[in-house]
Amino acid sequence: MRTQEINFLELLRSVLPVDKLSPELKRRVDQVLAGSADETAEAVVGAALRDLESRGLLRSSDLGEKRRRYQDLATGAVITVRLPAAAAGALTTIPLPLAPASAAASLETTRELLLLASRILTADGARVAEKDELVPLLLSFTRQVLACDDARFLTLEPDGEGFAPLAGSGSPFATALADEWGPARGHILLIRELAPAAAGGPNLRTAAAIRLGRSGDPVRGVIEVYSSRPGHFTRERLALLELIAETGRELLSNIARLQELVFIDSRTQIFNKAFFEIQFANLLARARREGRQLALALIDVDDFKTFNTRYGYAGGDQVLHRVAQILKGQVRPFDCVARWGGEEFTVVLAPPVEPDDARAICDRLRRAVQQTTVLVPGLDGKEHRTSVTVSVGGVLYPDDGGTTEELWRRANEALLTAKNQGKNRVHFRPHERRDLRVAPA
């Protein structure tokens, strides 16, 4: 085997398949070769090697003493690179999948994963577990199986075709998440020598991260693992990390699907009574904790039985569906709209909300329904145009009550008043105007 020692510029100019690099990296290589780059050839070579490895064109292995060997899988050529001290902690990308080729989960590991799956339903089977309940269990399991010192979960937000970490995450991978992880190519990120400040702990020496979730999944994020032992994350442990991430993706997706089945009303495709009761209690607790106001509104479709009589039940269902979508489209994203039952809907305007704003929003809901022409199927097989109106009864916390029961009862009273006053109107319980007066000193 003939060995030749070359510099980084020559490596870029004649050895590496730079035509296979990403457009951004090609541009950086051209700048270095033209002498117009602000960065060194050494830095660009490191980025190019990681990019080519992530694309499955190179395979790497450690040689110790800060040296790393890369093999070109197309030509068989071997490149040995001595890493400078500053680059020792650089990111390494390891293409997936690893699990089928590198590790088989033990019977105990498989059993523990199945136990995690059983946590989707609560002990009494009364409700579906929340994402925030399962993630800590998944992280605890990760620490145990990988025998690592720490495991964290970082939620990611979509950013174009890639991903960007939430601001303030403190992750040592933060700058690489969007750059290194494209939606069509999966791999693990590995830092072999972690700077103490990066992990938030002086004893943590190495770290790895894997993306959890795919495009279209309801939950997407990153599992990060840390160890105080250099070289702890072997290929076998990383294969187990891949298995954990895939299992976690399935479990969290199943939770989202089950919650949709449990909490979405099939006729109207908005939240149902079960979800409303949970959300109303949560928002009321938040309003109480923050000392802010919220509003509850009950909405009833006026003369709904006439739609069933005139157009049949399919026509009545179409009226309910259209009204639900109008209500959902007229409130803020963090408010809650749900079908209570029959032809009744509920809206909770989350804190903070001022009384005048609550009344204005409720009247906007009423007018939006009134101004919409609804197309409904008739018993004669034809579509018919019809108009719909709703009556709204509203209450405020804390003026009208301090508990869900009090607010619900008084909202019902307000709704009955709106009905009795002629329908197609909004009624809030009257309140005395409160003026703040300061006594003279």
Q: Are 295 and 394 in contact (CB under 8 A)?
A: yes
3-class state of residue 167 by DSSP: coil
The confidence score (pLDDT) of residue 218 equals 65
Higher pLDDT, residue 129 or 366:
366
248 pLDDT above the threshold of 70:
yes
Please tell me whether residues 406 and 319 are part of one structural domain: yes
Q: Are 109 and 146 in contact (CB under 8 A)?
A: no
Please tell me whether residues 290 and 218 are part of one structural domain: no
Q: Are 222 and 210 in contact (CB under 8 A)?
A: yes
> Is 267 within a domain?
no
Q: Give per-residue pLDDT as tens, 181-238.
A: 544 357 788 887 776 655 566 578 888 988 887 766 767 788 899 998 878 888 888 8
384 pLDDT above the threshold of 50:
yes
Higher pLDDT, residue 438 or 365:
365
Domains of the chain: total: 3
> Is 41 within a domain?
yes
Please tell me whether residues 76 and 134 are part of one structural domain: no
CA separation, residue 152 to residues 149, 223, 255, 257, 294 (Å): 10, 6, 20, 24, 35
Please tell me whether residues 258 and 277 are part of one structural domain: no
Nearest-5° Cα angle at 130, 176 to 330: 85
3-class state of residue 421 by DSSP: coil
Please tell me whether residues 74 and 104 are part of one structural domain: no
The burial of 142, by beta-carbon neighbours within 10 Å (0-12 exposed, 13-18 middle, 19 or more buried), is given as: buried
Please tell me whether residues 320 and 244 are part of one structural domain: no
Average pLDDT on 376-387 reads: 91
Q: Are 389 and 423 in contact (CB under 8 A)?
A: yes
**DSSP class per residue in 8-45:** HHHIIIIIS-GGGS-HHHHHHHHHHHTT--SS-HHHHH
List, in order, residues 6 or more apart from 216 with CB less than 8 Å away.
Answer: none
Please tell me whether residues 408 and 311 are part of one structural domain: yes
- CB count within 10 Å of CB 304 equals 18
CATH number of the domain within which 366 lies: 3.30.70.270
Q: Determine which of 77-91, 227-241, 367-381 has the lowest per-residue pLDDT on average.
A: 77-91
Higher pLDDT, residue 408 or 39:
408
- pLDDT, the chain, mean: 79
> Is 156 within a domain?
yes
Task: Give which of 285, 265, 282 is closest to 274, Cα–Cα.
Answer: 265
CA dist 182 and 165 (Å) reads 13
3-class state of residue 163 by DSSP: strand
Please tell me whether residues 290 and 378 are part of one structural domain: yes
3-class state of residue 393 by DSSP: strand
What's the gap between Cα 267 and its chain centre? Answer: 26
The confidence score (pLDDT) of residue 33 equals 86
Please tell me whether residues 388 and 311 are part of one structural domain: yes
Q: Which amino acid is present at 385?
A: R
Q: Give the model's confidence band at 307: pLDDT under 50 very low, under 70 low, under 90 confident, else very high.
A: very high
The burial of 417, by beta-carbon neighbours within 10 Å (0-12 exposed, 13-18 middle, 19 or more buried), is given as: middle
> Is 278 within a domain?
yes
> Is 412 within a domain?
yes
pTM for this entry: 0.48
Higher pLDDT, residue 423 or 236:
423
Q: Give the model's confidence band at 410: pLDDT under 50 very low, under 70 low, under 90 confident, else very high.
A: very high
> Is 440 within a domain?
no
Task: Give which of 228, 223, 183 is closest to 205, Cα–Cα.
Answer: 228
The residue from 53, 83, 113 where one domain ends is 83
Please tell me whether residues 397 and 305 are part of one structural domain: yes
- Extract long-range pairs of 249-252: CB within 8 Å, 24+ residues apart: 249/212, 249/213, 249/214, 249/217, 249/219, 251/116, 251/117, 251/120, 251/134, 251/138, 252/131, 252/134, 252/135, 252/212, 252/213, 252/217, 252/218, 252/219
> Is 88 within a domain?
no
Residue the block writes with tokens 């479990």: 251
The residue from 262, 295, 319 where one domain ends is 262
CA dist 369 and 326 (Å) reads 7
Q: Give the tokens for residue 190.
A: 């590995």
Please tell me whether residues 327 and 366 are part of one structural domain: yes
CATH number of the domain within which 110 lies: 3.30.450.40
Q: Determine which of 87-91, 295-299, 338-342 has the lowest per-residue pLDDT on average.
A: 87-91
> Is 433 within a domain?
no
The confidence score (pLDDT) of residue 439 equals 34
Please tell me whether residues 115 and 56 are part of one structural domain: no
List, in order, residues 6 or more apart from 174 with CB less than 8 Å away.
Answer: 165
* Backbone torsion region of residue 180, taken as left when φ is above 0, otherwise alpha when ψ lies between -120 and 50, otherwise beta: alpha
Q: Give the model's confidence band at 106: pLDDT under 50 very low, under 70 low, under 90 confident, else very high.
A: low
The confidence score (pLDDT) of residue 125 equals 41
Higher pLDDT, residue 379 or 123:
379
Average pLDDT on 233-253 reads: 84
The confidence score (pLDDT) of residue 52 equals 82
The residue from 262, 288, 319 where one domain ends is 262
The confidence score (pLDDT) of residue 279 equals 87
The confidence score (pLDDT) of residue 201 equals 61
Q: Are 187 and 235 in contact (CB under 8 A)?
A: no
CA dist 118 and 211 (Å) reads 23
**DSSP class per residue in 321-387:** HHHHHHHHHHS-TTSEEEEEETTEEEEEEPSS--HHHHHHHHHHHHHHHHTPEEEEE-TTSSEEEEE
The confidence score (pLDDT) of residue 124 equals 42
250, containing H or E segment: helix 235-263
3-class state of residue 418 by DSSP: helix
Tell me which residue range forms the domain holding 61. Answer: 8-83
